[in-house]
Amino acid sequence: MKPTAKFLWIFIALAAWLSGCAVIQPSAPPVSDSAAVLALVEVARTDVDAGRFPNAAAGLERALRLEPKNPRLWQELARLRVKEGDYAQAESLAARSNSWAGDDNELRAENWRLIAEARAARGDEAGAKTALEHAAKAKR
């Protein structure tokens, strides 16, 4: 390969890599504006990662006592219940999150996906399919 062709391929590869770095991915909004709630959620996430589910649940429940209408906290607890295998509770918590979600369609869609996962885990394939259809509609 000629040196100029080799240089061209290196330049193309570098440009492709740099263009990927320049893309700014939107991040999820913070769970709360409250430092206390954020601290409780962070500790709960650490507990989940370490498999300390009861500790994580206690922390999230404390956060919910501070902000009982916070749909992101309800979703966090729903995710934890899925990990614990408490699928009925996970579905109920995700539905509660949706009741406080307002016009946050991304949050609603994620809650419907959690509901679908819980239903599928319980063997309710038709219910899971319906929940996924709701998730697709929520994103519109």
Is 48 contained in some domain? yes
Size of the chain in residues: 140
Is 25 contained in some domain? no
Sign for the CA dihedral angle at 80, 86, 87, 90 comes to: negative
The total number of structural domains that make up the chain: 1
Best CA proximity match to 56, nearest among 16, 18, 32, 84: 84
Task: For 99-113, write each residue's pLDDT tens digit.
Answer: 999 999 999 999 999
Best CA proximity match to 134, nearest among 121, 93, 114: 114
Output the CA torsion 32→38→40→42 (10° steps).
Answer: 120
Is 7 contained in some domain? no
Q: What is the CATH number of the domain that holds 110?
A: 1.25.40.10
Task: For 5-53, write each residue's pLDDT tens digit.
Answer: 554 455 454 444 444 444 344 556 789 999 999 999 999 999 999 999 9
Best CA proximity match to 33, nearest among 80, 79, 70: 70
What is the pLDDT confidence band of residue 92, given thresholds at 50, 70 and 90? very high
**What mean pLDDT is predicted for residues 52-74?**
98
Round to whole Å and give the CA distance between 133 and 135.
5
Domain that holds residue 127: 31-138
